[in-house]
Amino acid sequence: MGDVIPFKKKTAWQKHKGKTLCREGFHKWKVVTERKFDVKKGKLVTEYQCERCGKTKTELH
């Protein structure tokens, strides 16, 4: 027979780490691409991504 691999069960704290802050709107934004040019709008664009949940947002300059 093959090797038996034990399951690693995550605790509730590990499973939901950082999600409660993002759910309430307190994201931890990090710049992904800075000063990218949007051709349709004719403006510079900065893209942000949350370090905890991965949600992205863009900001026009």
H or E stretch covering 22: helix 19-23
The answer to whether residue 52 is domain-embedded is: yes
pLDDT per residue rounded down to tens, the chain (61 residues): 678 887 778 787 777 766 678 888 889 999 998 778 887 888 888 999 999 888 999 988 8
Domain holding 47, by residue range, is 34-61
- What pLDDT shows up at residue 49? 94
The answer to whether residue 58 is domain-embedded is: yes
3-state helix, strand, coil in the chain (%, to 5): 15, 40, 50
What domain count does the chain have? 1
